[in-house]
Amino acid sequence: MASRSQDQTQNLRVLGTGRLSPAKNGPGAYLLESFGNCYPARMYVISIVFPEFTSLCPVTGQPDTGVICVEYIPDALCVESKSFKLYMFAFRNHQSFMETITNTVLDDLRVAIAPRWCRVKGFFAPRGGTRIHVFAEDFKQMSMEQDACVREAARAWKTEPCPHTVQPYAVV
């Protein structure tokens, strides 16, 4: 008999269903599912990298591609990875500037999981000879003591070299 973890899965609707089609209404926090953080007293960072991001320019309709990297310190909830993938897929036919996309992902994660800290990094492929990298960051309102702990954990993470966060489109 297999053992079970303490992970809370009762509210997940997408994982394990085989449904892979993205939402027809475009991206939104409603697509992001969550599960309970089993370690809410611990300051730890979750990093999710989506290396095949695509969207459309709102003016020309031309495709934009890039890598979206989300880093967060969870509070009560963590984002479920399959729902995150479907959320990212929802941008494929969505027209928006790169700056708006990066900030929208941050805002939607704040609504869906209310992390203690979250940073979204958008490394967009060059188009027209121009590279654009957009970083958006937010800290949740907390007590001074908790805020100091979260900021220290985020600062330590930012200085730690991580192979998956190396700029995929290096400036030469």
**pLDDT top residue among 168 and 67:** 67
pLDDT at 132: 93
Assess whether 78 carries a catalytic annotation. Answer: no
51-57 — which CB contacts under 8 Å span 24+ positions? 51/168, 53/88, 53/91, 53/122, 54/91, 54/92, 55/91, 55/92, 55/94, 55/95, 55/96, 55/98, 55/101, 56/92, 56/93, 56/94, 56/95, 56/96, 57/95, 57/97
Q: Does residue 161 carry a pLDDT above 80?
A: no
pLDDT at 26: 86
Distances 37 to 19, 49, 115, 153 between C-alpha atoms, Å? 25, 20, 10, 17
Options 7, 57, 78, 162, the catalytic residue: 57
Please, what are the domains in the chain?
Answer: 35-159 (3.30.1130.10)
pLDDT at 171: 44
Q: Which of 10-14, 33-37, 70-74, 122-126 has the lowest mean pLDDT?
A: 10-14
> What is the length of the chain?
172
Assess whether 69 carries a catalytic annotation. Answer: no
Q: How crowded is residue 130: how many other Cβ atoms within 10 Å of its Cβ?
A: 7
The string of pLDDT tens digits covering residues 103-148 is 999 999 999 999 999 999 999 999 888 999 999 999 999 999 999 9
Spatial CA neighbour of 137 closest among 152, 165, 117: 117
Options 7, 38, 64, 162, the catalytic residue: 64
pLDDT at 158: 81
The string of pLDDT tens digits covering residues 50-94 is 999 999 999 999 999 999 999 999 999 999 999 999 999 999 999
Q: Does residue 165 carry a pLDDT above 60?
A: no
| Feature table: binding site for substrate | 79-81, 98-99
Q: Give the three-state DSSP class for 67.
A: strand
The encoded tokens of residue 14 equal: 């997408």
Q: Does residue 167 carry a pLDDT above 60?
A: no
